Structure 1
Amino acid sequence: MRKSTLLTIVCVTVMVPMLLLGVSIKENKAAQQAINEVPKIPKLEPRSSEWGKYFPRQYETYMGTKKSDEIKDVLQGSPELVILWAGYGFSKDYNAPRGHFYMLEDNMNTLRTGAPLNPQTGPMPTPCWTCKSSDVPRLIDKKGELDFYTGKWARHGGEIVNPIGCADCHSNDTMKLTLTRDYLKRALDAEGSKPFAEATHQDMRSLVCAQCHAEYYFKDTEWTDDQGQKQVAKVVTFPWDNGMVAEDIETYYDQRNFVDWTHALSKTPMLKAQHPDYETFITGAHGKQGLSCADCHMPYVREGGVKYTNHQIGSPLDNIANTCLNCHSGTEQEFRATIAEKLARKDELSRTAMDILAKAHLEAKQAWDLGATEEEMKPALQDIRHGQWRWDYSIAGHGAFFHAPEETLRVLGSAINKGQEARIKLRAILAKYNAGDFQAPDFSTKEKAQQIIGLPYDKLVEEKQQFLNGLKQEWFKQGAEKGIYDPKSREGMELKTSYPN
């Protein structure tokens, strides 16, 4: 073979892969450039599919949250909860959280939001929409914060028709992370450790999550509308003025005599923890080491030369190789075993606390029935209030055992102590009224527990079905007529509830 022919073959062999590599690099650069470009998206555009036209990878992974679609009836597995929440909406219906794709759907379907007949009826106020929809920032911008937080939940039905999405966390002008709920900015400034103005990009990768994954209450705030009418807005407020640990927030509420509801059995002025994920996260090892929520729940993905954030938000345990094992040593099997051990410890203490506190409520009811006075009952009720708050704070953040296992176990231990102290005081009261041998009734099933608290379950379900087949359907029609409803946000969705539908 001639040297020239051999040389030609060698050159072709070398050059073809190089040319293909060059083409690939060019394509990857073009793809990455498209990601980095700022598209023209309207301000607070609630339809995530519109953002997805420019960010298809992020949108496709976000839509993957629809895979987390199973309904798990928590009350069925832990009937003590029905007793603990007697007189409060959670005793009606409480399911394990599903993917973000279902946030709005589950808010509409739960028995807790009732069965309103029109914008002025129903058991819940407007702020119950706050963390369920990308229409919320748009509506607050349109109406103003105080107006948005005024009135009944059903008032905004035809305006809130899309689940949480792109507009909740990103600026349409720059695509940078942004806070669309001002109550978090106010809370950070009030707490003082790091005012919002000092937040870094890494901080923002947690703070956009903290807008919704944090403890809050509805603060009554008086204002005057455009017609000169006095109104009261229930403004979402984070109780961080004293700090973010359980006892700090407990003190905040006690100082203001705040009550979420009065317990239907024990008459205790109760507190309900929401989902203090951010508060527990920053007290744990991950938060203290400067990690963000996104580092574990939204890990980076590489496709060739393109790097982007996975928006299929879920448990890091669903993707251990790309989350936990980036920092932790050992195998996936070993890591799962460690987490299971931690979870078992938390579950053991939580079950103990639930049983003690549920019995305390029932014993308090018996004491009231026998004629106990407010003066006699007040110390025991304060222990119930504090004990249940601490238990709830420990478990309402679903990843608390993972975020801060030591702190979670500490607070659960104090919840058990408070519950036991309440029962000791109640036993003394019951003995005074010749009922020292009182035994709490059987609440071993959801049905038995709901019967004890007098919950008209069948009636609630019947009314809810009428709402689902009526007003709920009208809301989406109204949203479509206004041009704000994104049909892709419900594509392939099935109606799933813990009650018959």
Structure 2
Amino acid sequence: MKKYKILLAISLIAIGLMSALVASINEKKEEQKQINSVPQMDNRWETKSEEFRTHYPRQFDSWRKTKNSDEIHDMLKEYPELVVLWAGYGFAKDYNAPRGHFYAIEDNRNTLRTGGPVDEKTGPMPTACWTCKSPDVPRIMAEQGDDEYYSGKWSKYGSDIINPIGCVDCHNPKTMELQVNRKYLDDALKAAGITDLANASQQDMRTMVCAQCHVEYYFAKKTTSAGKKAAVVTLPWANGTSVEAMEKYYDDLEFSDWTHKISKTPMLKAQHPGYEMWKTGAHGKNNVSCADCHMPYTQEGGIKYTDHNIGNPLENMSKTCMNCHRVSEKSLLANIAEKKARKDELHTKAMKQISAAHLEAGKAWELGATKEEMAPALKDIRHAQWRWDYAVASHPAFFHAPEETLRVLGTALEKAGDARIKLAKILAKYGASDYKAPANYSKEDAQKIIGLPFNKLIEEKKQFNDGLLQEWKKEAEKKGIYNPESTKDVEHKTSYN
């Protein structure tokens, strides 16, 4: 009898456990069903990402972790030659390594490059400088039209572009399907003869939503139908997406982003051609999308979802690299470190050669060299810096396309060397064959060399932060497009405080 009671007890416990397991499975299935469904957002252009948390808590919470990437890394301090390379251009004022998407608006407002405007018509930068920083941008484009958006100064939209890169940048809130909200990408894909967005597969779109921002672009000057001056984001892909094809595109247009303050070279500033470089590497050629590595699928209990903590795949290798690579993490990391070291070596050599060429050109002008004499050397400087910048501005290029990165840096070094040979002959002609360009200087020394009023820039930015910026935030809150709680614990960080 006792034996039967024990068996009955064990059976009841087993039944209870099985019932709990079934209930748990059903609960997870119901939750997964809810996740797979598409809740209707009340606002077609809901740009506050926290409003999506009710329906997509895991995705939102993982996106918010991009807030953890908050350290300021002053690249001008690490590489003072950059100040000379960008003399006369905004990047010589302030340039930090990119932080997490959470800080896209914060960093755009804080950088010295955007200046210290006092109203909507002042400041050095055009509205186009907001384009990749916020889901409020495609909202404004949809409401006002591209022409109106691209006209005017950066400060024009200070109280309208307030939320950092988030859900609506990549998703249609009505369907949650991936979509590109900035039409210049589709225009460029068609111009380059690449599959346009209408024919893009789901796997293609897992890259295209990133490519709408992580690409090379320039601001094409335009007069709108309303007679306004506009600076329009345009991708230079009409000849193709290689560094040489885009170089030819710019040369044929006689386009320059600025004229170098010292060498007087008509310069090009590469932006962040991540997509173009990715295409040339093993991952791109095998259609491994951006999301496959930077937004891997993750499991929480019985729920599978996409991790929106977009960052370095090497910090989560078990869910990224190791899905495909059949080697140890240690071996893979050693291989990556070797690629980075090779890139860093050529990057540093090219940077030093080009900065020296700028200073040598400046000396030649000072001694009385003519435009005709200088033109060949300046063309080499232009092409050398474009190629160097192209290779390093695509920040993970050494990983995405190591062979192409080294090739492009090699051509940059070659062209910088050609420029310096030409300049050496010009300097000798004017009696300065012994001239040595300054080297091994600090960020502060470099800013003095180029005559940058650094302290004045900081004071202007401080006045902006204490004045107009606070007005923008209050206005945005009144408009209902900004929730101060979303940024209340954000620490104000810069490289110049």
TM-score using structure 1 length: 0.97
SS at match of 1:158: coil
Q: Which amino acid aligns with 1:332?
A: E
Residue 170 of structure 1 aligns with which residue? 171
- The range that moved more, 19-28 or 84-93, is 19-28
**Contact 1:276–1:397 (8 Å) recurs in 2:** yes
Residue 127 of structure 1 aligns with which residue? 128
CA deviation string 1:166-211 (max 9, x = no partner): 0111001110000110111111111113222210000000110111
Q: Which amino acid aligns with 2:29?
A: K
SS at match of 1:179: coil
- The range that moved more, 193-202 or 45-54, is 193-202
- The range that moved more, 417-426 or 300-309, is 300-309
Residue 240 of structure 2 aligns with which residue? 243
1:453 aligns with 2:470: no
- The range that moved more, 38-47 or 150-159, is 38-47
- The range that moved more, 325-334 or 92-101, is 325-334
**Contact 1:443–1:449 (8 Å) recurs in 2:** no
Residue 398 of structure 2 aligns with which residue? 401
Q: Which amino acid aligns with 2:28?
A: N
Residue 304 of structure 1 aligns with which residue? 301
CA deviation string 1:263-285 (max 9, x = no partner): 00000000000000111111100
Counterpart of 2:418 (choices 418, 421, 426) is 421
Deviation of 1:439 (Å): 0.6
Residue 392 of structure 1 aligns with which residue? 389
Deviation of 1:6 (Å): 4.9
5 Å-filtered alignment, 1:126-275, equals 126-225=127-226, 230-275=227-272
**Contact 1:281–1:404 (8 Å) recurs in 2:** yes
Deviation of 1:414 (Å): 0.3
**Contact 1:86–1:265 (8 Å) recurs in 2:** yes
Q: Which amino acid aligns with 1:435?
A: A
**Contact 1:302–1:308 (8 Å) recurs in 2:** yes
CA distance in 1, matches of 2:380, 2:32: 57
Q: Which amino acid aligns with 1:346?
A: K
5 Å-filtered alignment, 1:320-331, equals 320-331=317-328
SS at match of 1:322: coil
1:40 aligns with 2:37: no
CA distance in 2, matches of 1:336, 1:404: 16
CA distance in 2, matches of 1:4, 1:192: 77
Deviation of 1:436 (Å): 1.1
CA deviation string 1:299-324 (max 9, x = no partner): 00111221110000001111112111
Residue 25 of structure 1 aligns with which residue? 25
Q: Which amino acid aligns with 1:153?
A: W
**Contact 1:162–1:489 (8 Å) recurs in 2:** no
Deviation of 1:3 (Å): 6.4
5 Å-filtered alignment, 1:99-138, equals 99-138=100-139
SS at match of 2:224: strand
CA distance in 2, matches of 1:221, 1:315: 38
CA distance in 1, matches of 2:299, 2:245: 42
Deviation of 1:326 (Å): 1.3
CA deviation string 1:204-246 (max 9, x = no partner): 0011011111110011122222xxxx11221111111111111
Deviation of 1:7 (Å): 4.6
1:478 aligns with 2:479: no
Deviation of 1:10 (Å): 4.4
**Contact 1:135–1:161 (8 Å) recurs in 2:** yes
CA distance in 2, matches of 1:24, 1:241: 55
SS at match of 1:302: strand
CA distance in 2, matches of 1:3, 1:63: 57
CA distance in 1, matches of 2:317, 2:19: 37
- The range that moved more, 11-20 or 415-424, is 11-20
CA distance in 2, matches of 1:277, 1:491: 32
- The range that moved more, 263-272 or 318-327, is 318-327
SS at match of 2:434: coil
Deviation of 1:119 (Å): 0.4
Structure 1: tracts of 5 or more residues without a match: none
CA deviation string 1:80-123 (max 9, x = no partner): 00000000000000001111110100000000000001000000
Counterpart of 2:334 (choices 337, 343, 348) is 337
1:9 aligns with 2:6: no
CA deviation string 1:50-94 (max 9, x = no partner): 111210000000000110001010000000000000000000000
CA distance in 1, matches of 2:456, 2:464: 13
CA deviation string 1:381-429 (max 9, x = no partner): 0000000000000000110000000000000000000000000001111
CA distance in 1, matches of 2:67, 2:424: 49
CA deviation string 1:30-65 (max 9, x = no partner): 211121121121112110011112100000000001
SS at match of 2:494: coil
SS at match of 1:321: coil
CA distance in 2, matches of 1:442, 1:243: 37
CA distance in 2, matches of 1:85, 1:243: 26
Q: Which amino acid aligns with 1:32?
A: Q
Counterpart of 2:347 (choices 328, 345, 350) is 350
Deviation of 1:2 (Å): 5.6
Q: Which amino acid aligns with 1:31?
A: E
Q: 1:312 to 1:488 in 2, by over 3 A?
A: farther
SS at match of 2:305: strand
CA distance in 2, matches of 1:314, 1:350: 23
5 Å-filtered alignment, 1:75-86, equals 75-86=76-87
CA distance in 2, matches of 1:366, 1:315: 43
Q: Which amino acid aligns with 2:335?
A: T
CA distance in 1, matches of 2:163, 2:88: 30
**Contact 1:102–1:163 (8 Å) recurs in 2:** yes
Q: 1:145 to 1:242 in 2, by over 3 A?
A: same
Q: Which amino acid aligns with 2:320?
A: T
- The range that moved more, 134-143 or 70-79, is 134-143
CA distance in 1, matches of 2:207, 2:246: 20
Q: Which amino acid aligns with 2:19?
A: L
**Contact 1:387–1:418 (8 Å) recurs in 2:** yes
CA deviation string 1:316-335 (max 9, x = no partner): 11111211111112222222
Counterpart of 1:316 (choices 300, 313, 322) is 313
